């Protein structure tokens, strides 16, 4: 029982008529008597008498009635009393803070109050946040001293606080993390894994914020402006109101702080983790020795929301589906990286029906296929996808704008405006001797194989070079290099990063480099590969010669230029990963002559706008900036969303019609690509007719598709054998050679592919031959299906065609009957089409390779008694193509080979389908997916190219054994 204080005001509205005063002395004596009873039994009797007497007194009676009323009020309105006690309590606390030091008892009690997470604790947080720095320091000294056993991270915190010391986020120790792909920097929330409660973690975050000085000129948000008006140094590209965010956290208002961030950045959980804060918000922090951990706070807020409300991360129940509402015209977003996703999210939130068209089968762009999960878990990208879906946004994957359709066609399909967020996904290479060798690949390829295709996991099909125990070098000094190096390390490689400047000039996030070296990755500075040397038999790289560099004068980037010293050194290598940055992918630009691009291939925008040279087409992110950062891409996506949501020039019925058309188009893009017909052409060779209406509409002779047969399968290129735009079908012919093609061969009518993208590559260049020249096709085995649509086009143009179709044996032949494809063409074009069949065993047609009859034709032509050969097109096994090429070269007959190289993304992003060609005596790197698949066979360096087909032979053999196909 507590004793009433004479000075204490009686609650004002305890009750109207009971609000009379009583004699305080009587009440005090009454309480004392009660206490005496409890504390001193000797006086019990005497005291009892006193109590009886006092209980009869008017004062005590009145007091008792008021206590009863207070109790009632306490039950009905507990907050009131809380406030009353809080006011009392804070005065006492304020008094404590005026003392020289905070006592242990006070500190422990105070901390317990903070942990309660109630009104009192909020008030205390606010109280401390508003204290002058010197009093805050007193608090920090007290927790350093009295709480460091319970919280080891408090130990020494007061040394140099606030500018030079802080509580860092929780980073998993290197020994624990360098074998797995779990998150390395677990942030403040990671302390929960060590057994701290959620509230304790909240307090760690609050302690970090307590260091903030609330600078008037807000450098973290707006950067440090330049007098000439050029872009400020540092600051936040999306202008998160950082000082206000810190103020809200300082006052314990975590939820409000999160709401504030969301207004300017819908992806804080992503950008907080991957932004280069050290050159942006934190780089200009006035606590320059140890800036406030703004990035960590940025992602702590959404992450903590998830911990608190795991099932309710997105309260948008009242958001009406914009497609159903049909009050705003549809918008198409091309690319699902941060630029596209933010754009889609904001427009969907604003009531626009949006469809995101993405080239890959998964969403997220670089965030998914580039940045590994140990830095950015995929579930965060899934989260964004889910949010956009809740808002009514739609996604069409395996859709390549510039190939599957054009921007103009998207507009015709009902989309009012388009945002292009296609990134900058074309990897750069060094173009040094030996770069064509097996075991040398781009970081894009390596990371896509691991991050997107999960090549390192047993139950996934994508092959990966052996990494465990191998000498891996990663060339480059940016985030991509670090990600590739750390990934290779996790796969068991002995990894060295080779960089031509010094560590100081590296464009990498400081944290990543630090983590990489902690994980046991070596750094070779001032070194650049001059040449790669390989094994003559395996064609795998074995060594590299590195130029020793030194730093010269600064270049355009302001960094000192690396200069060759003339010295060199040799290094053993098994796997080389090139992380030299990305250039712009030409696919969209090549398909849209009206779209203005810079000399670097980036899409240009109008001044102070995100709109491109094409009306109603906007862009942003890496597509416009070249390789940049996630937050800048997100910022562009936001700015574009604001511009896109302008005045709508349509009537309500026009909008409804646009929405209906665009929705129908979207549905076609989303339709499962199912097998409608399956024909066994020969032993191990099947023809599949697949529903894929948008590819069927766009397909041209000579193109191919990228097939993902099942979720854990691999991405394989397959040539289009035929298509029917009206029926919405495409035809694939598959010979089961490797385990993937063998599994595809087993698919049945009704089965759906996980995704088919295309049509890809350039279509055939069809020349009209005016003087009766013949176009010779040499088709080896299943080279016939890709040959078929090209020769059909030549026939339709009126060109004469000679088909030399070769098979190993009669049993493997197909389409030769009168009612089959080649037979039907012969009937349709009896004067234009000659067909010569060859078999290796003589079981049908000529007993010869395709080169046999071709040589006859060449000889006759040379002798002047045969048809002139306009050109030769050769498609089939690589060795056959090479033989044809070697044969025709001395005759000077133009020869084109259609290359079915090893590819991953098949849109230029990985560089795996590299074809070394010689132009003007120089070796030039071409890519089968974007420069081909048809290339002038006479400039291909076949000696270098052919071994590339064998680079995953070992993995393929292992896979066959695994699947029981060996």
Question: Residue 197 corresponds to which tokens in the numbers above?
Answer: 């409660």
Is residue 485 within 8 Å of 497, Cβ to Cβ?
A: yes
**590 CB-near residues (< 8 Å, 6+ apart):** 402
CA-wise closest residue to 636 among 419, 473, 488: 419
Q: Given the complex with ligand FAD, which of 503 and 550 has the nearer CB atom? A: 503
Q: Considering the complex, what minimum distance in angstroms separates the CB of residue 878 from ligand FAD?
A: 28
Q: Given the complex with ligand FAD, which of 509 and 948 has the nearer CB atom? A: 509
End-to-end C-alpha distance for the chain, whole angstroms:
85
Q: Given the complex with ligand FAD, which of 587 and 742 has the nearer CB atom? A: 587
What backbone phi and psi angles, to 5 degrees, belong to 376? -145, 105
CB atoms within 10 A of CB 255: 13
Is residue 222 within 8 Å of 141, Cβ to Cβ?
A: no
Question: Residue 793 corresponds to which tokens in the numbers above?
Answer: 């086009």
Categorise residue 178: left if φ over 0, alpha if ψ from -120 to 50, beta otherwise: alpha
Q: Given the complex with ligand FAD, which of 111 and 360 has the nearer CB atom? A: 360
Distances from the Cα of 813 to the Cα of 677, 748, 823, 824, angstroms: 20, 22, 13, 16
**263 CB-near residues (< 8 Å, 6+ apart):** none
**Residues in the chain, total:** 966
How large is the angle between the packed helices 58-76 and 78-97, nearest 10 degrees? 100
Q: Given the complex with ligand FAD, which of 128 and 757 has the nearer CB atom? A: 757
Q: Given the complex with ligand FAD, which of 597 and 778 has the nearer CB atom? A: 597
Q: Given the complex with ligand FAD, which of 421 and 738 has the nearer CB atom? A: 421
CA-wise closest residue to 445 among 423, 472, 466, 464: 464
Q: Considering the complex, what minimum distance in angstroms separates the CB of residue 637 from ligand FAD?
A: 7
Q: Given the complex with ligand FAD, which of 212 and 622 has the nearer CB atom? A: 622
- Coil vs helix vs strand at 297: helix
Q: Considering the complex, what minimum distance in angstroms separates the CB of residue 706 from ligand FAD?
A: 12
Handedness of CA 631, 633, 634, 638 (dihedral sign): positive
Q: Given the complex with ligand FAD, which of 353 and 425 has the nearer CB atom? A: 425
DSSP 951: T
Q: Considering the complex, what minimum distance in angstroms separates the CB of residue 760 from ligand FAD?
A: 11
Is residue 756 within 8 Å of 728, Cβ to Cβ?
A: no
Using CA atoms, how far apart are residues 895 and 891, in angstroms rounded to an integer?
10
Using CA atoms, how far apart are residues 173 and 298, in angstroms rounded to an integer?
23
Q: Given the complex with ligand FAD, which of 521 and 546 has the nearer CB atom? A: 521
Using CA atoms, how far apart are residues 716 and 756, in angstroms rounded to an integer?
10
Q: Given the complex with ligand FAD, which of 257 and 623 has the nearer CB atom? A: 623
- Coil vs helix vs strand at 588: helix
Q: Considering the complex, what minimum distance in angstroms separates the CB of residue 337 from ligand FAD?
A: 2
CA-wise closest residue to 513 among 500, 502, 526: 502
Q: Given the complex with ligand FAD, which of 397 and 729 has the nearer CB atom? A: 397
Binding site for ligand FAD (CB under 6 A): 274-276, 334-340, 357-360, 365-367, 370-371, 399-402, 421-423, 425, 447, 479-480, 483, 509, 585, 587-588, 621-623, 628-631, 633
CA 430, chain centre distance (Å)? 25
Q: Considering the complex, what minimum distance in angstroms separates the CB of residue 511 from ligand FAD?
A: 9
Q: Given the complex with ligand FAD, which of 235 and 337 has the nearer CB atom? A: 337
Q: Given the complex with ligand FAD, which of 248 and 426 has the nearer CB atom? A: 426
Using CA atoms, how far apart are residues 887 and 851, in angstroms rounded to an integer?
8
Is residue 439 within 8 Å of 575, Cβ to Cβ?
A: yes
What backbone phi and psi angles, to 5 degrees, belong to 257? -65, -40
- Coil vs helix vs strand at 680: strand
Q: Considering the complex, what minimum distance in angstroms separates the CB of residue 291 from ligand FAD?
A: 17
Q: Given the complex with ligand FAD, which of 783 and 933 has the nearer CB atom? A: 933
* Letter string b/e over residues 333-355, b meaning 16 or more CB atoms within 10 A of that residue's CB: bbbbbbbbbbbbbbbbbbbbbbb
Q: Considering the complex, what minimum distance in angstroms separates the CB of residue 914 from ligand FAD?
A: 19
**592 CB-near residues (< 8 Å, 6+ apart):** 402, 406, 407, 408, 614
Name the maximum alpha-carbon separation found in the chain.
142
Q: Considering the complex, what minimum distance in angstroms separates the CB of residue 581 from ligand FAD?
A: 9
Mind spelling out the 3-state secondary structure of 761-815? Answer: CCCCCCCCCCCCCEEEEEEEHHHHHHHHHHHHHHHHHCCEEEEEEEECCHHHCCC
Q: Considering the complex, what minimum distance in angstroms separates the CB of residue 199 from ligand FAD?
A: 31
DSSP calls for 683-747: TTEEEEEEE-HHHHHH--TT-EEEEE-STTS-EEEEE--EEETTTTEEEEEEE--SHHHHHHHT-
Q: Say which residue the tokens 């299943």 belong to.
A: 782
Q: Considering the complex, what minimum distance in angstroms separates the CB of residue 881 from ligand FAD?
A: 29
Q: Given the complex with ligand FAD, which of 359 and 675 has the nearer CB atom? A: 359
Q: Given the complex with ligand FAD, which of 417 and 800 has the nearer CB atom? A: 417
Q: Considering the complex, what minimum distance in angstroms separates the CB of residue 400 from ligand FAD?
A: 5
CA 579, chain centre distance (Å)? 17
Is residue 940 within 8 Å of 928, Cβ to Cβ?
A: no
CA 864, chain centre distance (Å)? 60
Helices (H), 98-183: 104-115, 119-129, 133-146, 174-177
- Upper half-sphere CA count for residue 87 (Cβ side, 13 Å): 7
Q: Given the complex with ligand FAD, which of 418 and 730 has the nearer CB atom? A: 418
Q: Considering the complex, what minimum distance in angstroms separates the CB of residue 246 from ligand FAD?
A: 22
Q: Considering the complex, what minimum distance in angstroms separates the CB of residue 375 from ligand FAD?
A: 7
Q: Considering the complex, what minimum distance in angstroms separates the CB of residue 741 from ligand FAD?
A: 25
């Amino acid at each position: 029982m507590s004793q009433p204080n004479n000075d204490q005001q009686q609650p004002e509205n305890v009750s109207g008529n009971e609000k009379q005063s009583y004699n305080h002395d009587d009440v005090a004596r009454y309480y004392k008597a009660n206490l005496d009873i409890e504390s001193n039994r000797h006086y019990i009797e005497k005291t009892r008498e006193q109590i009886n007497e006092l209980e009869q007194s008017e004062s005590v009676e009145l007091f008792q009635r008021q206590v009863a009323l207070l109790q009632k009020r306490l039950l009905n309105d507990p907050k009131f009393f809380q406030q009353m006690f809080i006011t009392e309590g804070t005065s006492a606390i304020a008094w404590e803070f005026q003392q020289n030091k905070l006592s242990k008892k006070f500190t422990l009690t105070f901390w317990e109050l903070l942990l309660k997470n109630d009104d009192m604790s909020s008030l205390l947080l606010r109280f401390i946040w508003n204290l002058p720095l010197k009093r805050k320091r007193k608090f920090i000294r007290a927790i350093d001293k009295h709480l460091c056993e319970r919280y080891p991270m408090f130990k020494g915190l007061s040394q140099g606080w606030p500018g030079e010391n802080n509580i860092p986020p929780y980073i998993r120790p290197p020994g624990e993390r360098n074998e797995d792909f779990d998150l390395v920097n677990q942030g403040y929330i990671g302390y929960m894994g060590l057994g701290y409660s959620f509230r304790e973690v909240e307090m760690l975050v609050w302690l970090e914020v307590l260091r903030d000085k609330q600078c008037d000129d807000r450098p973290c948000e707006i950067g440090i402006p330049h007098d000439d008006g050029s872009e400020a140094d540092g600051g936040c590209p999306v202008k998160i109101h950082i000082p206000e965010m810190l103020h809200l956290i300082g006052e314990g208002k975590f939820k409000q702080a999160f709401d504030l961030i969301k207004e300017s950045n819908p992806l804080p959980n992503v950008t907080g983790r991957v932004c280069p804060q050290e050159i942006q918000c934190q780089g200009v922090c006035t606590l320059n020795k140890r800036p406030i951990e703004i990035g960590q706070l940025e992602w702590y807020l959404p992450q903590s929301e998830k911990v608190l409300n795991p099932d309710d991360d997105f309260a948008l129940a009242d958001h009406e589906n914009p497609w159903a509402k049909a009050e705003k015209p549809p918008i198409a977003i091309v690319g699902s990286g941060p630029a596209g996703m933010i754009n889609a999210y904001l427009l969907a939130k604003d009531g626009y029906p949006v469809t995101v068209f993405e080239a890959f089968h998964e969403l997220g762009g670089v965030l998914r296929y580039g940045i590994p999960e140990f830095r950015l878990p995929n579930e965060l990208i899934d989260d964004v996808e889910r949010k956009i879906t809740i808002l009514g946004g739609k996604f069409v994957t395996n859709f390549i704008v510039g190939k599957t359709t054009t921007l103009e066609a998207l507009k015709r399909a009902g989309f009012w405006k388009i945002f292009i967020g296609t990134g900058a996904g074309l990897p750069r290479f060094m173009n040094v001797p030996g770069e064509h060798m097996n075991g040398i690949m781009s970081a894009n390829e390596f990371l896509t194989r691991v991050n997107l295709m999960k090549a390192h996991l047993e139950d996934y099909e994508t092959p990966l070079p052996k990494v465990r125990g191998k000498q891996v070098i990663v060339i480059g000094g940016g985030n991509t290099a670090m990600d590739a190096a750390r990934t290779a390390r996790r796969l068991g490689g002995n990894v060295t990063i080779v960089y031509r400047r010094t560590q100081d000039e590296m464009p990498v996030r400081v944290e990543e480099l630090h983590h990489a070296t902690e994980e046991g990755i070596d750094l070779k500075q001032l070194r650049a590969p001059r040449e790669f040397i390989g094994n003559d038999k395996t064609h795998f790289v074995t060594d590299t010669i590195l130029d020793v560099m030194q730093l010269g004068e600064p270049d355009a980037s302001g960094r000192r230029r690396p200069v060759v010293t003339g010295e060199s050194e040799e290094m053993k290598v098994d796997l080389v990963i090139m992380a030299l940055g990305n250039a712009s992918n030409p696919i969209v630009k090549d398909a849209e002559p009206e779209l203005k691009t810079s000399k670097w291939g980036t899409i240009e925008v109008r001044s102070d706008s995100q709109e491109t040279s094409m009306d109603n087409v906007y862009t942003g992110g890496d597509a416009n900036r070249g390789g940049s950062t996630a937050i800048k891409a997100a910022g562009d996506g936001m700015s574009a969303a604001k511009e896109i949501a302008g005045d709508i020039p349509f009537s309500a019925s026009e909008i409804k019609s646009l929405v209906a058309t665009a929705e129908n188009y979207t549905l076609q893009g989303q339709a499962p690509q199912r097998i409608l017909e399956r024909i066994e052409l020969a032993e191990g060779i099947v023809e599949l007719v697949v529903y894929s209406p948008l590819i069927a509409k766009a397909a041209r002779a000579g193109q191919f598709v990228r097939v993902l047969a099942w979720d854990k399968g691999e991405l394989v290129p397959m040539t289009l054998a035929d298509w029917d735009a009206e029926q919405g079908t495409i035809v694939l012919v598959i010979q089961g050679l490797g385990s993937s093609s063998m599994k595809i061969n087993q698919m049945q009518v009704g089965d759906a592919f996980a995704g088919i993208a295309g049509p890809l590559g350039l279509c055939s260049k069809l020349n009209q031959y005016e003087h009766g020249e013949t176009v010779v096709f040499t088709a080896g085995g299943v080279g016939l299906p890709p040959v078929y649509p090209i020769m059909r086009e030549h026939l339709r143009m009126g060109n004469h065609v000679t088909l030399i179709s070769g098979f190993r044996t009669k049993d493997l032949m197909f389409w030769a009957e009168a009612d089959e494809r080649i037979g039907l063409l012969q009937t349709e074009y009896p004067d234009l089409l000659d067909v010569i069949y060859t078999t290796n065993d003589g079981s049908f047609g000529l007993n010869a390779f395709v080169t046999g009859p071709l040589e006859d034709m060449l000889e006759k032509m040379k002798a002047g008694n045969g048809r002139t050969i306009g050109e030769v097109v050769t498609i089939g096994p690589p060795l056959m193509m090479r033989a044809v090429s070697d044969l025709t070269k001395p005759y000077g007959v133009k020869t084109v080979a259609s290359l079915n190289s090893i590819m991953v993304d098949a849109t230029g992003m990985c560089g795996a389908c590299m074809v070394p060609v010689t132009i003007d005596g120089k070796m030039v790197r071409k890519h089968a997916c974007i420069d081909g698949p048809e290339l002038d066979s006479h400039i291909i360096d076949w000696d270098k190219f052919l071994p590339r087909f064998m680079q995953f032979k070992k993995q393929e053999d292992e896979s066959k054994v695994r699947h029981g196909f060996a």
